[in-house]
Amino acid sequence: MTLVWAMLIDALLGEPGWVWKRVPHPAVLMGRMIGWADQSFNHGEARILKGALVTIILAFGFGMIGVLVPRLPLGGLWEVLLAAILIAQKSLADHVQAVSDGLRKSLFHGRQAVSMIVGRDTSEMQPPAVARGAIESAAENFSDGVVAPIFWFVVAGLPGLLIYKLVNTADSMIGYRTDKHEEFGKFAARLDDVLNWIPARISALVFLIARRKWSAWDVIRRDAPLHRSPNAGWPEAAMAAGLDVALSGPRSYEGELREFPWVNEEGAQEIGPKEVDQAVDMLWSAWLVLFGLAVLLALV
């Protein structure tokens, strides 16, 4: 029942700001350690090996924390709370909803809200691009922030969840193909791809079930491989087909326009806050599917 309670707590409370003003979030602690390792070891020779060792050592350390927590006094309670903290359903839905609410106020507010959840340039975005950014973030982060943590908790308990979260955080910080991180973050990036391979495809199936639009499978199989990521294309294609919107396409990073292919190109391109609202509804419908599966597992 640990997972069931963790999912419920996350869905009800999300990320209470008053808590994290007083104590650091576990992901923040992970980020601080990764940042320290980046500054300390990302130089000189053998950067690939150094990055791999840092990732393995930190993952092992957090995995051991996952082993020890249930053995503490009231360990079951701490396990539930830590799992709830590391599942990000409500915070994701809230961030995506903020884009819809912002767009209804003004383009400026929409751009401001979407800049919190995407890494691309937002200053010149028009309303359809803002909406696409929010929906793409909803799909990808549902896989990374909800399905994958739940999957690895089911597979390996709290240690599996903590190891996954450490690797995913490392990928988000050092897993870039830049001069600084191409070598040092290579292992973390590849390991994150491996750990997300199954969850990304489960996410697509969960979206399919939630939307009950079975014809979308053809779009998913056709367009998921078009994505530059081996995993992100699956939930993104599933959400695009489920909502009948076109996602991805050309966008700007650091002032450079990149001609990415469209996902579900035949879908609507002139979209706005209504479609973002529908994406939030789809997130919660998919969460209900996952919650039902978690209850079944608990009963079994």
Cα→Cα distances 94→74, 91, 288, Å: 31, 5, 16
Which pLDDT score, from 0 to 100, does residue 179 have?
86
Which pLDDT score, from 0 to 100, does residue 189 have?
96
Task: Report how many helices (DSSP H) and strands (DSSP E) the chain contains, helices first.
Answer: 13, 4
pLDDT tens-digit readout, 276-288: 999 999 999 999 9
DSSP 43-72: SSS-HHHHHHHHHHHHHHHHHHHHHHGGGS
Residues 6+ apart with CB under 8 A from 20: 28
pLDDT tens-digit readout, 220-231: 999 999 888 899
As a whole number of angstroms, the distance between CA 175 and CA 54 comes to 13
SS (H, E, C) 74-87: CHHHHHHHHHHHCC
Domain span at 138: 2-299
pLDDT tens-digit readout, 40-72: 999 999 999 999 999 999 999 999 999 999 999
Residues 6+ apart with CB under 8 A from 194: none
Which pLDDT score, from 0 to 100, does residue 89 have?
96
* Residue 255 clears pLDDT 70, i.e. is over it: no
**Mean pLDDT in residue range 101-118:** 94
Chain Cα centroid distance, residue 283:
12
**Mean pLDDT in residue range 75-88:** 95
Binning pLDDT at 50, 70 and 90, where does residue 252 land? Answer: low
Please provide residue 163's backbone torsions phi and psi, each rounded to the nearest 5 degrees: -60, -45
Closest CA to 124 of 254, 245, 275, 271: 254
* Residue 258 clears pLDDT 90, i.e. is over it: no
Binning pLDDT at 50, 70 and 90, where does residue 273 land? Answer: very high
Q: How far apart are the first and last CA of the chain?
A: 11
Where would I find the beta strands (DSSP E) of the chain? 247-248, 251-253, 256-258, 262-263
As a whole number of angstroms, the distance between CA 269 and CA 189 comes to 31
Binning pLDDT at 50, 70 and 90, where does residue 257 land? Answer: low
For the chain, percent helix, then strand, then coil, each to nearest 5?
70, 5, 25
* Residue 256 clears pLDDT 70, i.e. is over it: no
DSSP bridge partners of 253: 256
Mean of the per-residue pLDDT values for the chain?
93
As a whole number of angstroms, the distance between CA 91 and CA 121 comes to 22
pLDDT tens-digit readout, 7-36: 999 999 988 877 777 888 899 999 999 999
Residue 144 half-sphere exposure toward CB, CA atoms < 13 A: 23
Closest CA to 158 of 168, 169, 150, 170: 150
**Mean pLDDT in residue range 76-93:** 96
pTM, entire model: 0.93
pLDDT tens-digit readout, 195-210: 999 999 999 999 999 9
Count how many domains the chain has: 1
